[in-house]
Amino acid sequence: MLDRAGAVAGLVPETSVRHWYADFASWYPSERDTRGWDDTLGWLHAVAHGADAAAAFARRLPEERPGLLDLCARRMTAPHTDYRYAQLEDARLARAVTGMLLAPGLTAEQAAGWLSVVTDALEGGGPGPVPPWAFNTFATLQALHLHLVRGLAEGGVPPHAGHVADRVAAVLRLPCGWLA
């Protein structure tokens, strides 16, 4: 609906889009049911569908991209999950972030600034089992690194891909100290 609203002038008033964005910004990082598939309910996929929505909001409200990147970081680091991504949620979230980074106008700091949410969440981690949220975060960052290096079929490589990929690799060295 957001993409259609952007393609057809006047279809959805700007005030409605901003209201939807406010609701989304409140819901996405705090949603507790992050399962991908449920045998009774079917696709729940809040993380993946929310990532798609974040990308659509970024296209419709480009000035909100830094905030949307922050929302995606808060989603991937949300500590209130016991679900480990199993249905490519990490790749969908990485695709959404990469799409947001593709659009012109972000500075290098804006393109990578959201990673401070990730580093803050991981601060103080130590030996022991990896909590599901941290596993999900590392899986998403691995997928994002691949997306940044390879680019998207539609859009290519983001302008600040090298800078963001270096910051992502620095975070990935926390659990994977053997990385160059």
Mean pLDDT of 19-36: 95
Mean pLDDT of the chain: 94
The closest of 177, 170, 168 to 76, measured between CA atoms, is 168
Mean pLDDT in residue range 25-47: 94
Q: What is the pLDDT of residue 64?
A: 97
Contacts of 146 (CB under 8 A, 6+ apart): 94
Which tens digit of pLDDT belongs to each residue from 137-155? 999 999 999 999 999 999 9
**Residue 159 vs residues 46, 149, 156: alpha-carbon distances, Å:** 29, 11, 9
pTM: 0.94
